[in-house]
Structure formats: C-alpha cells, structure tokens
Amino acid sequence: MTEREITRPVDLARGRRLNPEAVGWSRSPVHRTRIAGWGRTKRWEYWGIVTDRFVVGLTVAGLDYLANCAVYVLDRRTGQEATRSGIRPLHRPRFGDDPGDGTLHASAGVGAGRVGIGIDDDEGRTSIRVQARELQVSLEVSRPGHDGLAVVVPWSERRFQYTLKDLANPVTGTVTLDGTTHDLGTGWAVLDRGRGRWRYATTWNWGAGSGVVEGSTRAIQVGGKWTDGTGSTENGILIDGRLHKLGEDLRWTYHLTEPGGPWRVRGERLDATLTPFHLRRDVTELGVLAVKTHQAFGVWHGTGVLDDGSEVSLDGLVGWAEQSRNRW
C-alpha cells in the first residue's frame, strides 16, 4: 500500500470536516489540528514510559463533554501499582493546535481525587509534572529530533483522526509513592498525540517498543483494527533516527485469556512478538462512556525489513502491546 507523505504544513480540518489534503503521513508534525464546533471531537496527550525500574502512563484527554487527567505507575521491583484518575465534566483542556505544540496544563477531579498534569515543551526536551494523592511524578524527556510518525486516518469526511507517535525518547526523573521518592531508572518515553472526530464505538490495537540493539537506537510502532481498510496505517520502524514506513495492515495474534501469553504482530516486512512481564487491565464505566483496555508491558523480539530491503533485529526493545475497546 502506497501512502502519501506530507512535507508541508496543512490544516487537518475545514470547519468540522476533514480536509482531503491532510490525509497521509509525515515524519514530523506538520498538521494544524484546529477543529470547529462541539461534539464527538476527541483530543489527548499520552506519554508512556518504560524503564528498568518503573512503568508510567499519563493522559490528558478532552472529550468535549468532559476532561480526564490520569496517571498509572508500576514499580517493576516490588510489583506495586498505583492509579489516579480525575474527571471534570463540561470542561475542555487547552490543547495546542499548532504543529508540534504539546505544552499543556490541566487538572481534573476534586478534593483528594484531583489529578494535575503539567507538560512543557522546550527546545529539545519536554518537562512533565504530575501531582496526585500520594503520587507525584517528575520527568525530563530528551527530544533528539529524530523522525516521528504522524498519520491522518479518514473514516469519512465527518469522522477522522490525526495521531502522532514519537518513539525512543530518553527519559530521566523521579517517582514519589506514599511519600518515598525513587529514581525513575533508565529507559524510554513514547508520545501519543491524538486530535480528531471519532465514531462512538471503536476498538484498536497499539504496540510500541524502544531500545538499543547492536549499538543503534531502534524502535517499532504498530497499530491495528481502527485503521484497517482506511488506506492509512500507523506502522513503522525507527533506526538511528530514520523512520521506515510500513504501509500495510498488520496481523495481530494474542489471547486475552492468557495474561502472560505472547502478542505477535506480522506483515510482509515485520515479524515481532512481545513477551509480557506485566499485564494491566483498565475498565471504566461512566454511563455513555466506557473503556476496557488490556495492556501488556514487555520485551519485543523479532525482525523488520527496512526501505532498502535489509533486515534488522528488534530483539530487546521494551514497550507494550494493547487492545482497547471504547464507547465515547
């Protein structure tokens, strides 16, 4: 499948409808993501971090009719998990619409249930601060300036999504649990930025992995289900800063009834399997809003084929694979 690479700034939408000129993919943020009107528009910033000590996931989401700030922490050494999530009805966080603008300050929840998240983009780095009950996170993410993977997925002229995945970003910081501060450890941060107008019910697969293999920085980004049949994919291999786009729908094999079972993703240029070290199950039921996610954190092994036909190892990349079913 041949997809159009976009290299110049472009508007994602014309009013509330998809701009046809925005459909394609890019190596860097070039889409201006302003969407007019209210209703069915979803915006979020998600950062996923895996180090040799901690797993951290944090989300700021705006669904037009509510805002959500959430943080998840897993201490890999002790197995302790902590989740904090706050909801703010009829509130829309101030997401940036300019290409590459990820600076954002938001809070949701009340009293002891309040979660505050601050994200500040600066030249070559992103600073993140999370404040929640008995849980604080402080992160410094280095942004090397390598290729990312931005894709516009066109379901129809009224339903569409812009997504940006930025992989293999070195990260340092601290996690404070129950008053005790711990060093974050050594690892990687991945950004998932979303802007679009969604269908009410959607299921997706997403997987990512980052690391150093044979002396080079490598990463994979894979997706499925929600993009199938649209002509757009969010699949790629990153090698030493250069993205190699995979323009095909990939085949996912996994069994949710086997928590420690493998997650395999295959295509003509990719065969990679994630072996989990931890499975997170997240279920939210709030009337018309429902989310059910199975997220396996683990280590990837496999091979990928680059644009020039050469084969590379993906053994040892750390990250996750997930299935998420959503009504929102």
Residue by residue, pLDDT tens for the chain (328 residues) are 579 999 999 999 999 999 999 999 999 999 999 999 887 899 999 999 999 999 999 999 999 889 999 999 999 999 999 999 999 998 989 999 999 999 999 999 999 999 999 999 998 999 999 999 999 999 999 999 999 999 999 999 999 999 999 999 999 999 999 999 999 999 999 999 999 999 888 999 999 999 999 999 999 999 999 999 999 999 999 999 999 999 999 999 999 998 889 999 999 999 999 999 999 998 887 767 788 999 999 999 999 999 999 999 999 999 999 999 988 7
> Do the beta carbons of residue 89 and residue 109 sit within 8 Å?
no
Q: How many CB atoms lie within 10 A of CB 266?
A: 15
CA atoms lying within 13 Å on the CB side of residue 246: 24
Domain 10-327 -> CATH class: mainly beta
* Alpha carbon distance 64, 231 (integer Å): 28
Kindly list the distances between the CA atom of residue 190 and the CA atoms of 57, 140, 187, 193, 220, in Å, as whole numbers in the listed order: 10, 12, 10, 10, 11
Domain ranges of the chain: 10-327
pTM listed for this prediction: 0.96
> Do the beta carbons of residue 10 and residue 23 sit within 8 Å?
no
CB proximity list for 293: less than 8 A, separation 6 or greater: 280, 281, 282, 283, 322, 323, 324, 325
